[in-house]
């Protein structure tokens, strides 16, 4: 298109950008959504003031989280950011250059932040990216972990944390999916995901988790630790086969029974969780009524 001079597109709103083309001379006054692959994200700077949606796919390459973060930080009207990391092994980012951006964590609002890590990507590629994007404050945060490398998949907590050991998911509503983890990865089954989430994100009012193999609560939760759940109003657990009945009973006892009107969990949804018996659900339903709902696996 550039070779034939077809660069005047005054009505174009969405662009899939998968090649090394310099767009600075193009006329794209209505462009708001851009989807780019790999290093071909140079137009992020060119159209930074008008972009509202950006989708970036990083596949089988070194991740430059610094460049991406600086581009995102400059987009004053950005509402939706999606980053997919596929089979990436290394990250060559210089985070020192981001210190002015990162010093005020979760200070830049965004409607949706979606991060997908999949297909043998390693934590060494992912961790610095989490650091670089930690200035964002998402209304809706989505994290998907799928088919991770056998080595790094054994270190369950790594893929939730920044390199500074802070949980990366942060938002008013948090959705987490963990797919393709084998039964041999015991650390996934002992990491208390829900407790860790609310400890580092005190503003989350809605959490939805789909993770076949994970723990949810610390077995040593004290009364003080239950205070971290103060903002949580809605919890949905789907296909969480390792969810234990003692965890579910603890959630109901500490966050629902006896809670002040409008406080505590207002809805608890259990869907296809094989470790929870119908007898347990019926018993808890008698205690909290329609706030607890469930569906079994067909």
**DSSP letters along 26-74, please?**
SB-TT--EEEEETT--THHHHTTTT--EEEEEEESS-B-HHHHHHHHHT
**Residue 177: is it exposed, middle or buried by C-beta count within 10 angstroms (0-12/13-18/19+)?**
middle
**Does residue 221 share a domain with residue 173?**
no
Whether 17 maps to a domain, the answer reads yes
- Edge-to-edge strand list for the sheet holding 33-37: 14-17, 33-37, 53-59, 80-86, 108-118, 136-146, 171-179, 206-211, 234-238, 267-271, 292-295
Q: In the predicted model, is pLDDT for residue 270 greater than 70? A: yes
**Does residue 233 share a domain with residue 180?**
no
Whether 201 maps to a domain, the answer reads no
Question: Residue 213: what pLDDT?
Answer: 83
**Does residue 86 share a domain with residue 8?**
yes
Question: Residue 38: what pLDDT?
Answer: 56
**Does residue 144 share a domain with residue 14?**
yes
**Does residue 229 share a domain with residue 160?**
no
Whether 206 maps to a domain, the answer reads no
**Residue 11: is it exposed, middle or buried by C-beta count within 10 angstroms (0-12/13-18/19+)?**
exposed
End position of a domain, from candidates 191, 221, 242: 191
**Does residue 128 share a domain with residue 46?**
yes
Q: Model-level pTM? A: 0.87
**Does residue 145 share a domain with residue 69?**
yes
How confident is the model over 214-233, as a mean pLDDT?
Answer: 85
End position of a domain, from candidates 191, 226, 257: 191
Whether 199 maps to a domain, the answer reads no
Mean pLDDT check: name the lowest of 86-100, 134-148, 233-247.
86-100
Question: Residue 14: what pLDDT?
Answer: 78
Q: In the predicted model, is pLDDT for residue 281 greater than 70? A: yes
**Does residue 242 share a domain with residue 107?**
no
Whether 276 maps to a domain, the answer reads yes
Total domains in the chain come to 2
With residue 186 as reference, give the H or E element that holds it.
Answer: helix 186-190
86 in Cβ contact with 45 (< 8 Å): no
Whether 205 maps to a domain, the answer reads no
How confident is the model over 279-297, as a mean pLDDT?
Answer: 91
**Does residue 280 share a domain with residue 237?**
yes
Domain span holding position 165? 1-191
**Does residue 181 share a domain with residue 52?**
yes
End position of a domain, from candidates 135, 160, 191: 191
Task: Give me the sign of the Cα torsion angle 110, 142, 159, 214.
Answer: positive
Q: Reduce the DSSP state of residue 182 to 3 states and report it.
A: coil
Reported confidence tier of residue 36, pLDDT bands at 50, 70, 90: low
How confident is the model over 109-122, as a mean pLDDT?
Answer: 92
**Does residue 298 share a domain with residue 185?**
no
**Does residue 216 share a domain with residue 169?**
no
- 294 forms bridges with which residues in the sheet? 270
Cα 243 to chain center, whole Å? Answer: 20
22 or 133, higher pLDDT? 133
Question: 92 to each of 45, 62, 65, 125, 156, how far by Cα in Å?
Answer: 20, 7, 8, 8, 23
Question: Residue 298: what pLDDT?
Answer: 42
Whether 68 maps to a domain, the answer reads yes
Whether 251 maps to a domain, the answer reads yes
Reported confidence tier of residue 177, pLDDT bands at 50, 70, 90: very high
């Amino acid at each position: 298109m550039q070779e034939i001079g077809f660069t005047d597109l005054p009505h174009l709103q969405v662009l899939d950008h998968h090649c090394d083309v310099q767009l600075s001379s193009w006329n794209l006054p209505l462009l708001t959504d851009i989807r780019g692959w790999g290093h071909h994200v140079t137009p992020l700077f060119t159209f930074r003031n008008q972009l509202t949606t950006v989708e970036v796919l990083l596949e089988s390459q070194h991740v430059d989280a610094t460049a991406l973060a600086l581009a995102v930080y400059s987009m004053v009207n950005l509402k939706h950011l999606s980053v997919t990391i596929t089979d990436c092994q290394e990250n060559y980012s210089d985070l020192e250059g981001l210190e002015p951006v990162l010093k005020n964590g979760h200070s830049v609002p965004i409607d949706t932040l979606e991060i997908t890590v999949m297909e043998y990507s390693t934590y060494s590629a992912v961790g610095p990216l989490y650091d670089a994007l930690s200035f964002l404050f998402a209304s809706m945060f989505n994290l998907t972990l799928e088919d991770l490398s056998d080595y790094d998949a054994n270190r369950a907590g790594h893929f939730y944390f920044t390199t500074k050991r802070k949980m990366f998911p942060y938002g008013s509503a948090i959705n987490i999916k963990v797919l393709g983890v084998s039964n041999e990865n015991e650390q996934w089954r002992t990491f208390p995901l829900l407790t860790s989430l609310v400890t580092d994100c005190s503003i989350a009012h809605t959490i939805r988790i789909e993770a076949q193999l994970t723990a949810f609560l610390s077995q040593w939760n004290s009364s003080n630790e239950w205070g971290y759940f103060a903002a949580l109003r809605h919890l949905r657990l789907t296909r969480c086969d390792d969810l234990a009945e003692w965890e579910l009973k603890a959630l109901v006892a500490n966050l629902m029974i006896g809670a002040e009107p409008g406080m505590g969990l207002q809805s608890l949804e259990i869907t296809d969780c094989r470790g929870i018996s119908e007898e347990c659900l019926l018993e808890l339903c008698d205690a909290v009524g329609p706030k607890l709902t469930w569906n079994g696996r067909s």
